[in-house]
Amino acid sequence: MKTITAAGLLLRARLALGRINPMLALAVVLVLAGIGAQLALLPAREQLDRDYEQARRLARLPVPVAPPAVAPPPSSDQNLQHFYATLGDRRGVERQLKDVFALAAKHGLSLSQGEYRSAQDRNAKLTTYQVNLPVKGSYGAILGFALDVLRAMPHASLDDVAFRRDAIGDTGVEARLRLTFYLSAATTGAPR
């Protein structure tokens, strides 16, 4: 039996290398280095594939819609200023009553003499002017009249409506409307 020593192995490797074409040896070394690099980069490639798949899944999801910007609610001072700005003019109440009568005429209603009452609320710094109007006409005309008054005068409220018809066959009805006009008490220093 022959024993091989390390020196003998080294000599055999040198002789084998001497017989190999240097270009072929370089090609083999490069191929082995490429295989080693591919094996070393395999975990990184798998991670990259997972990242791409997650990005594709996220891209298929709908884009979240941002909630619209909501204006902050008005402060109590702003609400109070808006309230006083909405009040009618106390000095122009006669003109407002003429407008009410003109709207009644527009709807073909006949207005009888009304009852008028004024009151002042010192705490609220406003004046109320209550008007009780007896009217005669059709239901539709009375409804249209009431709505037109409220549209024309945002400082008015319709507090009460009472209908009366003498006979079932009558097309006209008698109604009593109670309106309240909220007016600024400008002479008492109400904020405007």
Is pLDDT at 64 greater than 60 in this prediction?
yes
Q: Is the pLDDT of residue 192 over 50?
A: no
Instruction: Write the pLDDT tens digit of every residue in 106-138.
Output: 999 888 778 889 888 888 888 899 999 999 888
- Give me the residue label for tokens 């007896």: 134
pLDDT at 188 over 70: no
Rounded CA gap, 43 and 40, in Å? 7
Mean pLDDT (the chain, rounded): 85
CB 74 within 8 A of CB 82: yes
Instruction: Tell me the average pLDDT across 59-69.
Output: 84
For residue 155, give the H/E element and its range.
Answer: none
pTM: 0.57
Looking at the chain, the whole-number percentage of residues with pLDDT higher than 70 is 95
> What's the confidence (pLDDT) of residue 1?
56
The answer on pLDDT for 13 being more than 90 is no
Chain segment 132-161, per-residue pLDDT in tens: 999 988 888 999 999 999 999 989 999 999
Q: What is the DSSP string of 95-160?
A: HHHHHHHHHHHHTT-EE---EEEEEEETTTTEEEEEEEEEEEE-HHHHHHHHHHHHHH-TTEEEEE
pLDDT surpassing 80 at residue 32: yes
What average pLDDT does the segment 45-69 reach? Answer: 88
Half-sphere exposure of 8 (CA within 13 A, CB side): 4
118 DSSP β-pair partners = 129
Count the helices and strands in the chain (H runs, E runs): 5, 5
pLDDT, residue 149, reads 93
For residue 115, is it left (φ>0), alpha (ψ between -120 and 50) or beta? beta
